[in-house]
Structure 1
Amino acid sequence: MSLKPGKKAPDFTLPSTSGKNFTLSQNCKGKACIIYFYPKDFTRVCTAEACDFRNLFGAFRNFDVAVIGISRDDIPTHLKFQKEYNLPFELLSDEKGNVCNAYDALIPLIRIPKRITYFLDKEHVVRAAFSDMFESKAHVNEMIKTLQSEESKKSSNS
């Protein structure tokens, strides 16, 4: 399961690799964003996913969409991960798993984040969600397809 498209995304505040707290309603005010939840830094699939977002970061920037990664890893681990893989976006630490839980991105009992990606529009309404625990590249590709579709809808309405 995931948050349903059309539902307002829950606001949250978490520590960030920027050195400041990140609050969705403030840091992405009036801006669309991709929020991707992932299990753990430095694991094979999570590293591939982060690198896929990094490699297509220019495309997300062209769509004027922020990219934010969230896991339960602490900030020192996120900073090492971000530096080692030259990630140009913020990573947020949800050590208690409360935000993961609010976004239906937490596996019950073992409380590890699921691999789930959300596209939120400028009002932070969920427009798309994609979940696949073992396939990282599909998350990035699905978000690019969603953004292209949104862009073509805007163009045809103009």
Structure 2
Amino acid sequence: MELKVGDVIPHFTAKDSNGNDFDSNDYVGKQSLVIYFYPKDDTPGCTTQACTFRDQYQDFKDLGAEVIGISSDSVQSHLKFQSKFNLPFILLSDNDKKIRKAFGVSKDFLGLIDGRTTYVVDAKGIIQLVFDSTSAKSHIKNALEILKISL
């Protein structure tokens, strides 16, 4: 079942790009989150999206939000991707796709490729925006607009 605006995000854990344990409970209740699911590290669309989040990361921080990118790539792949493009935000490895399933992120392109969906979540863990689009750059603009409105 796909999560929608007004839903509370599910609790989740994963390994970050450094192999450290990430627990969503460490963030929910403390700050807003921009959680974006993307298909694959170091591919053209995903690189564009990640670098656009990188270039506007301070805008998100200034609005009190943390950015979290999630794909099924390995911890090692995330570390390489993060290092190559100097990404300052959290990347999580969802290799068993449990987080993707918990959020209900659908597949794109006839069900062949993992979907690209962004969630803006307020400090209480309530979803304020669900944006599902193959257009990589539009996720950042929409997320910033919602964060500005919800302050």
Instruction: Tell me the TM-score normalised to structure 2 length.
Output: 0.93
> 17-26 vs 34-43, which deviates more?
17-26
May I ask how many residue pairs the two structures share in their alignment?
150
Query: How far off is 1:113 after superposition?
Result: 2.5
Separation of aligned partners in 1, 2:113 and 2:11: 21
Q: How many percent of aligned residue pairs carry the same amino acid?
A: 36
Could you tell me which runs of 5 or more consecutive residues in structure 1 were left unpaired when the two chains were aligned.
152-158
> 101-110 vs 59-68, which deviates more?
101-110
Contact 2:28 2:124 in 1 (8 A): no
The residue type equivalent to 1:130 in the other structure is: F
Query: How far off is 1:148 after superposition?
Result: 1.5
Please list, as runs of the form range in 1=range in 2, the aligned pairs for 1:47-66 lying within 5 A after superposition. 47-66=47-66
Could you tell me which runs of 5 or more consecutive residues in structure 2 were left unpaired when the two chains were aligned.
none
Higher radius of gyration, 1 or 2:
1
Separation of aligned partners in 2, 1:74 and 1:122: 28
Aligned residues: CA RMSD: 1.8
The residue type equivalent to 2:115 in the other structure is: K
2:117 matched to which residue of 1? 116
> 14-23 vs 32-41, which deviates more?
14-23
1:93 matched to which residue of 2? 93
Contact 2:18 2:75 in 1 (8 A): no
2:35 matched to which residue of 1? 35
The residue type equivalent to 1:128 in the other structure is: L
Contact 1:2 1:129 in 2 (8 A): no
Separation of aligned partners in 2, 1:112 and 1:103: 16
1:144 matched to which residue of 2? 144
Contact 1:106 1:112 in 2 (8 A): no
2:15 matched to which residue of 1? 15
The residue type equivalent to 2:132 in the other structure is: S
Distance 1:48 1:87, change over 3 A: same
SS in 2 for 1:7: coil
> 122-131 vs 20-29, which deviates more?
20-29
SS in 1 for 2:3: coil
Return the structure number with greater strand share.
2
SS in 2 for 1:124: coil
Contact 1:97 1:106 in 2 (8 A): no
Separation of aligned partners in 2, 1:29 and 1:110: 34
Separation of aligned partners in 1, 2:90 and 2:55: 15
